[in-house]
Amino acid sequence: MMMRNGVTKAEKSAKEKEKAPTPAPAPKISIKGKERDTSTPVPQQPAKSKKASPSQPEHTPVNEKKCRDVLKALMKLPQAAIFLQPVDIVRDGCPTYYDEIKHPMDFSTITKKLSDGEYKIMEDFAKDVQLIFSNCRTFNPPNTGPWICADVVDAAWKTAWAKAMEKRLAYNEKRSLQSIMGKLISDPVSWVFREPVDPVALGIPTYFDVIPRKNARDLRTIRQKLDADKYDSIDAFEADLDLMVDNAILFNGSDSEVAKWGIDLRNKYRDLLSPLKNGGTTAKRKNGEKSTPQPTKKARLG
């Protein structure tokens, strides 16, 4: 038998067979119709380290009332009936449930944890609610009754959660801003800013060519937004007032009488907002302070 480099052809053939890769076994199909990949995982390249972001995830302190309102809205849904209590493997006819679901969750358990003060932040409450739907979809095949129930309740959850997490002014902040609005509207210098600009009535047809409609602001519009909880902070409220004054200066000119009234009004609302932004209450007018007399000259509104 001929040898080349000290290796016979038979030995070389045997070694090549040993080096040949073994075919990966075909993925098994579970009784639930889900594929479970049993092939050898492909080694992944180590991920490049990323610099840690200086900003940390925002955590919202738990609001028990909001959580209970969300639970009440979800639990009254007919499709939520299967999620109200822990799974009973005998009653529900699913003996393998706790073999497959390692972290079971249901609405009664969430309610108890809420009552016991186990939730410190809203995000932990949300994780448990979402775990209910995740467990259901993990254990049950798609398009089955339980899966459909999870979809229905999950959709309601997303709506209720978004509403619960809307940022709004605190009650005392809102009342203080409403008080400030009352003072601004009653101030004679504000007369030009009290109502939305009507380009036809005022004879200024180019107004919305200069000031986009989406940026138009006036005291009535701002008050309506405040009453409807459209502001999530005092700064957002002040930003709308600033925009109102800026619009007046932009359209009328910085040397116009309207601009001067706007600057006067801005100084007043900033004085009123200052103690509120610093954690105090709204400032009161000093005794004997004279208000600006109402102008009699017709002016273009800002």
Residue type, 281: T
Domain 64-164 carries which CATH code? 1.20.920.10
pLDDT tens digits for 189-210? 999 999 999 999 999 999 999 9
Lowest mean pLDDT among 61-65, 111-115, 186-190: 61-65
Residue 188 structure tokens: 């004679």
Q: What is the distance between the alpha carbons of residues 101 and 169, in angstroms, rounded to a whole number?
A: 41
Lowest mean pLDDT among 28-37, 129-138, 205-214, 218-227: 28-37
With pLDDT > 90 as the criterion, what percentage of the chain qualifies? 67
pLDDT band at 292 (very low <50, low <70, confident <90, very high): very low
pLDDT band at 277 (very low <50, low <70, confident <90, very high): confident
Domain 171-277 carries which CATH code? 1.20.920.10
Q: What is the pLDDT of residue 57?
A: 54
Answer for the pair 263, 228: CB distance below 8 angstroms, yes or no: no
Mean pLDDT of 92-121: 96
Domain with CATH 1.20.920.10 in the chain: 64-164, 171-277
